[in-house]
């Protein structure tokens, strides 16, 4: 193993379970589910190929049809979806990884053109996203003014998160990660720019955090909170996530997560804006180390890391596990490559968000990786292009 990388390959305790190493497959939207959100055999192959991670967080998985912005993302709200996940989860854990489902509701990032009722998405306030555009099959189009959730509507969405968590356990997941990052529904409640409510869900930090707190209350009824992780992107302004005091806001959120005894805190690093790199990272940085210090549990950081930077963070005590997204897409056997110092494949952009096997399951294992050639290894058949 290249010198200095040892820490990445030490086991880690997460939610009362042991991850065999500290590399995390970050949640990545790949849009290979069926139109009805049922996971596919191709997805099982994809996760099997990346099953050398210590912790696998599924791609964003919607809690309801209204929670989706794009076609072919998986869900966890129907019995068929639960059945469809079972072989995918089995494949993901085939080498000992801990496997969490990322629970997702996009809120105002939805678009009527992709909604079953052809109506705009739901949000804390009727404020549209102005600085970005919706990725429609015909190209980029403006976002719409979302519908404001009523108190009853909020209760409904909270219930959808709890049902999805129960379904995740039934599908075999070890736990769930709440997607509180990247300007999706939970983040929309947190930030003042997207939450102008005058009721108990808007105004003070406590009020804007109430939606998240109620989701955690509801999850706690169906799954131990020790098996619930939380993902945040405190430095990101992607999708108009504006707040005059991001540092104060996210410190309060992390204190809540710590008090509830959540499984882990997963931070998107300051250099990342949603699925892109942040040009304005310098202006909006909320330090991961500072937030991590407020959380009594494992800290995962994701965003642009190399093997060296990841190991250095673990060594410095400013992260416990490190997520990899783009590197893991292009290198299904990324842990093997880090361990052996093997060269890395570059990412190809085509097939990132749609399609079949091309750009998804056709990235090869390294030729020196015994798993890529051993005929008796069931994963070998899956991973040879």
Q: Which residues bind ligand PHB (CB under 6 A)?
A: 29, 60, 181-182, 274-275
To the nearest whole angstrom, how small is the minimum distance from the Cβ of residue 29 to ligand PHB? 4
In the chain, what is the greatest distance between 2 CA atoms, to the nearest angstrom?
A: 63
- 110 vs 307, beta carbon nearer ligand PHB: 110
Q: Check if 184 is active-site.
A: yes
Q: What secondary structure letter does DSSP report for 41?
A: H
- d(Cα 105, Cα 129) in Å, to the nearest integer? 16
Q: Is 331 exposed, middle or buried (0-12, 13-18, 19+ CB in 10 A)?
A: buried
Rg of the Cα atoms in the chain: 20
Q: Which of 70, 100, 184, 201 is the catalytic position?
A: 184
Smallest distance, ligand PHB to C-beta of residue 106, A: 8
Minimum CB distance to ligand PHB smaller for 276 or for 376: 276
Q: Which is nearer to ligand PHB, 20 or 74 (CB)?
A: 74
CA distance 278 to 255: 26
Nearer to ligand PHB, 182 or 369 (CB): 182
Cα 200 to Cα 198: distance, rounded to the nearest angstrom: 7
Least distance from ligand PHB to the Cβ atom of residue 159, Å: 23
Which residues lie below 8 Å from residue 286, measured CB to CB, with a gap of 6+?
A: 234, 235, 246, 247, 250, 270
Angle value at C-alpha 50, between 44 and 55, nearest 5 degrees: 105
Q: With contact defined as beta carbons under 8 Å apart, do 334 and 327 qualify?
A: yes
Report in angstroms how near the CB of residue 205 gets to ligand PHB at its nearest: 23
**Count of alpha carbons within 13 Å of 257, Cβ hemisphere only?**
31
Tell me the C-alpha distance between 35 and 332, whole Å.
25
Name the residue nearer to ligand PHB (CB basis): 85 or 238: 238
Catalytic residues: 184
């Amino acid at each position: 193993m290249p010198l200095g990388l040892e820490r990445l390959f030490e086991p880690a305790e997460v939610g009362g379970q042991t991850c065999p190493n500290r590399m995390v497959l970050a949640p990545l939207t790949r849009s290979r589910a069926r139109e009805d959100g049922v996971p596919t055999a191709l997805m099982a192959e994809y996760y099997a190929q990346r099953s050398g991670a210590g912790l696998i967080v599924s791609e964003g998985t919607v809690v309801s049809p209204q929670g989706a912005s794009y076609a072919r993302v998986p869900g966890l709200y129907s019995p068929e979806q639960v059945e469809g996940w079972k072989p995918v989860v089995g494949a993901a854990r085939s080498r000992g990884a801990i496997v969490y489902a990322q629970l997702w509701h996009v809120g105002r990032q939805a678009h009527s053109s992709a909604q079953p009722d052809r109506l705009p998405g739901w949000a804390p306030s009727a404020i549209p996203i102005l600085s970005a555009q919706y990725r429609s099959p015909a190209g980029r189009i403006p976002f719409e003014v979302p519908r404001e959730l009523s108190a009853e509507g909020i209760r409904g969405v909270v219930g959808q998160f709890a049902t999805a968590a129960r379904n995740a356990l039934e599908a075999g997941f070890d736990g769930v990660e709440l997607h509180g990052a990247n300007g999706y529904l939970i983040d929309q409640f947190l930030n003042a720019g997207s939450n102008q409510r005058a009721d108990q869900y808007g105004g003070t930090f406590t009020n804007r955090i109430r939606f998240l707190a109620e989701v955690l209350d509801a999850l706690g009824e169906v799954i131990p909170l020790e098996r619930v992780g939380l993902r945040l992107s405190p430095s990101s302004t992607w999708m108009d996530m504006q707040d005059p005091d991001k540092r104060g806001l996210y410190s309060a959120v992390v204190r809540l997560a710590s008090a509830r005894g959540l499984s882990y805190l997963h931070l998107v690093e300051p250099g990342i804006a949603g699925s892109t790199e942040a040009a304005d990272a310098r202006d909006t940085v909320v330090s991961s180390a500072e937030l991590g210090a407020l959380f009594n549990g494992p800290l995962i950081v994701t965003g642009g890391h190399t093997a060296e930077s990841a190991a250095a963070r673990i060594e410095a005590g400013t992260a416990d596990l490190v997520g990899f997204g783009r590197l893991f897409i292009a290198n299904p056997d990324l842990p093997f490559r880090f361990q052996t110092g093997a060269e890395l494949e570059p990412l190809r952009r085509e097939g990132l968000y749609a399609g079949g096997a091309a750009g998804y399951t056709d990235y090869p294992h390294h030729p020196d990786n015994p798993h890529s050639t051993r005929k008796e290894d069931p994963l070998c058949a899956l991973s040879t292009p």
